[in-house]
Amino acid sequence: MAKDRVFIFDTTLRDGEQTPGASLTTKEKIKIALQLEHLGVDIIEAGFPRTSPGDLEAVREVSKNVKTPIICGLARSTKRDIDDVYEALKKAKRARVHVFLATSSIHRKYKLKKAKSEILASSIEAVKYARKKFGDVEFSPEDASRTEPDFLAQVVEAVIKAGAGTVNIPDTVGYSVPQEFGGIIKRLKEDVSNIDKAVISVHCHNDLGLGVSNSLAAVFNGARQVECTINGLGERAGNAALEEVIMALKMRKDLYGDLKTGIKTKELYKTSKLVSKLTGIAVQPNKAIIGLNAFSHESGIHQDGVLKKRVTYEIIRPQDVGFKGSNIVLGKLSGRHAFSAKLKELGYDLEQSELDQAFLRFKTLADKKKKIFDEDLATIVENELATIPEEYKLIDFSVTSGKKIKPTASVEIKKGREKLVATASGDGPIDACFKTIDKAIGVKGKLADYKVNAVTSGKDALGEASVKIKFKDGIVIGRGSSTDVIEASVLAYVNAINHLALRNKKLKKKTK
């Protein structure tokens, strides 16, 4: 393998789907996988088949639809897990199994209750078993960065000997820092006698905000596979963001050398938009590389500098990541053509039915709001298109509130053909609406977080509400938008309940 080639292992569909609040249907996973193929990733980790029949099916369907990248399934170090990945990937053109077992003293003592010798033996046994079924086996010593260096080296050497072609070093809890993490890779390269027989991979979580920095430090020290996710999604604070790793390697060849990946950077923006639309997880405006503000200059000095010479304040050309923002502002008279062209420009590639739905929503908004900005359109697409099945659909609501009257709300919600109606009071108009929705549907939610943001400025600005609600079955998030903040909040609450319904369905399938 060429020493200057860095493999990009995308785990948006596996670790990324573990983002609190994110859930994807099989169809959505296929859509994302096809775009990842287009983007040029080398490996797609499509899921963890043993966790549920739904996950197994999703991995299988992704592997049937995607041609070029290797499709990978995750497995614990057990025969049953490996067999399930085999079952899911039977039809894949190029398949990989990713086997893991924790090696750190914390995990050995508290989670696995196993001695080092047992961990070592199980790792070898799992890799040997996996090699009987797969030509391509990756092994991860989970929590590697908190594992004793000598033991880590011992495990890595043993699994390579047993047949692992890739050894992935995870910073599972995002505890490491760049100097240290780079040192771990350097030491493995020095201490493991057969290290040249495997690709060293890294998988860095972002608990200290260092996922990307740690990945880069690892590459600097010889790692040649980076596991990452679009928009940095992932368990807890997420994983290293693919777009950031890629652009750092591209922009700083002076430091990292002319390392090659298969990524077409012009596809980054579009991929990010697709993932955010389908997972329902918004990209923060100040997110590096693909955030809405990444290429906008607010201060006069900066604007002046960029106009004189772009490189004064801009290190990346927006078009290099596929960002084609323009100054076109849409309004009431804009037609379908301009609308669709603008969405394409913003990186959204919608199906006809989605486009129709978004256009209707745009027209309704344009009746209330004079100028529709890019941010409004992004909100329409990301919040308003039902990316999850709408088991509960808001038909109508009303609320009365005032200084001297108790806020009281009524709602009408449809569940299939059933009409659910209720009236209830609350501490304020929003609380009254949420309590009424709970009553109509027959659930009891506790508001853990609630935010309303104006998407643009002005009295007629679109308001975006997001809620985080604790139900007895877990926490879900929901989002909604409207020029009326109460309506935005009500839509967000119903959206959260639809997320809960989807999750419960998946859980039911899992336990069958």
Query: Which spans of this chain sit near ligand KIV (rule: CB under 6 A)?
Result: 15, 74, 100, 140, 142, 168, 170, 172, 203, 205
Please state, in angstroms and rounded to a whole number, the distance separating the CA atoms of residues 475 and 327. Answer: 39
**Residue 326: strand, helix, or coil:** coil
Pick 10 or 15: Cβ nearer ligand KIV: 15
Q: Please report, in angstroms and rounded to a whole number, the separation of the first and last CA atoms in the chain.
A: 44
- Residue 411 interacts, among ligand KIV, Zn ion, none and using kind-specific CB cut-offs from 5 to 8 Å, with none
User: Least CB distance from residue 176 to Zn ion, whole Å?
Assistant: 13
User: Least CB distance from residue 141 to ligand KIV, whole Å?
Assistant: 9
User: Least CB distance from residue 72 to Zn ion, whole Å?
Assistant: 13
In this structure, is the dihedral angle defined by the CA atoms of residues 445, 449, 455 and 456, taken in order, positive or negative?
A: positive
User: What's the number of CA atoms in the CB half-sphere (13 Å) around residue 128?
Assistant: 9
User: What's the number of CA atoms in the CB half-sphere (13 Å) around residue 18?
Assistant: 16
Please state, in angstroms and rounded to a whole number, the distance separating the CA atoms of residues 116 and 109. Answer: 10
143 contacts Zn ion (rule: CB under 5 A): no
Pick 142 or 375: Cβ nearer ligand KIV: 142
Pick 100 or 434: Cβ nearer ligand KIV: 100
Read off φ and ψ for residue 431, nearest 5 degrees.
-60, -40
Assigned token pair, 284:
């923060």
User: Least CB distance from residue 205 to ligand KIV, whole Å?
Assistant: 6
User: Least CB distance from residue 140 to Zn ion, whole Å?
Assistant: 9
**Residue 239: strand, helix, or coil:** strand
Residue 347 backbone zone (phi > 0: left; psi -120 to 50: alpha; other: beta) = left
User: Least CB distance from residue 207 to Zn ion, whole Å?
Assistant: 11
- Residue 231 interacts, among ligand KIV, Zn ion, none and using kind-specific CB cut-offs from 5 to 8 Å, with none
Pick 236 or 363: Cβ nearer Zn ion: 236
User: Least CB distance from residue 33 to ligand KIV, whole Å?
Assistant: 18
At residue 89, what is the residue type?
A: L
Across the strands, what pairs with 8?
226
CA distances from 146 to 110, 169, 181, 239 (A): 14, 11, 10, 17
In the numeric block, the tokens 């106009």 are attached to 307
- Residue 348 interacts, among ligand KIV, Zn ion, none and using kind-specific CB cut-offs from 5 to 8 Å, with none
User: Least CB distance from residue 326 to Zn ion, whole Å?
Assistant: 38
Among 8-16, 177-185, 309-317, 464-472, the segment contacting Zn ion (CB under 5 A): 8-16
Give yes or no for a contact between 74 and 44, defined as CB atoms under 8 angstroms apart.
no
User: Rounded to 5 degrees, what angle do the CA atoms 374, 376, 380 make?
Assistant: 115
Pick 107 or 468: Cβ nearer ligand KIV: 107
Helical spans, DSSP H, in 40-177 = 53-65, 79-89, 105-106, 116-133, 149-162
Among 10-18, 127-135, 396-404, 425-433, the segment contacting Zn ion (CB under 5 A): 10-18
Pick 204 or 248: Cβ nearer ligand KIV: 204
Pick 43 or 385: Cβ nearer Zn ion: 43
Pick 15 or 375: Cβ nearer Zn ion: 15
Instruction: Name residues contacting Zn ion, limited to 12-41 (CB under 5 A).
Output: 15
Q: Mention every residue, 6+ apart, whose C-beta is less than 8 A from residue 438.
A: 424, 444, 445
Please state, in angstroms and rounded to a whole number, the distance separating the CA atoms of residues 143 and 458. Answer: 49
Pick 211 or 280: Cβ nearer Zn ion: 211
**Residue 409: strand, helix, or coil:** strand
- Residue 374 interacts, among ligand KIV, Zn ion, none and using kind-specific CB cut-offs from 5 to 8 Å, with none
- Residue 261 interacts, among ligand KIV, Zn ion, none and using kind-specific CB cut-offs from 5 to 8 Å, with none
Among 7-15, 107-115, 274-282, 343-351, the segment contacting Zn ion (CB under 5 A): 7-15
User: Least CB distance from residue 203 to Zn ion, whole Å?
Assistant: 6
User: How many CB atoms lie under 10 A from the CB of residue 243?
Assistant: 26
Please state, in angstroms and rounded to a whole number, the distance separating the CA atoms of residues 392 and 389. Answer: 9
Q: Mention every residue, 6+ apart, whose C-beta is less than 8 A from residue 154.
A: 120
Pick 21 or 407: Cβ nearer Zn ion: 21
Pick 131 or 203: Cβ nearer ligand KIV: 203
User: Least CB distance from residue 224 to ligand KIV, whole Å?
Assistant: 17
- Residue 140 interacts, among ligand KIV, Zn ion, none and using kind-specific CB cut-offs from 5 to 8 Å, with ligand KIV
- Residue 100 interacts, among Zn ion, ligand KIV, none and using kind-specific CB cut-offs from 5 to 8 Å, with ligand KIV
Pick 144 or 440: Cβ nearer Zn ion: 144
Residue 327 backbone zone (phi > 0: left; psi -120 to 50: alpha; other: beta) = alpha
Among 9-17, 193-201, 387-395, 468-476, the segment contacting Zn ion (CB under 5 A): 9-17
266: nearest Cα among 301, 305, 318 = 318
User: Least CB distance from residue 51 to ligand KIV, whole Å?
Assistant: 12
- Residue 142 interacts, among ligand KIV, Zn ion, none and using kind-specific CB cut-offs from 5 to 8 Å, with ligand KIV
Across the strands, what pairs with 402?
none
**Residue 206: strand, helix, or coil:** coil
Contacts with Zn ion by CB under 5 A lie at: 15
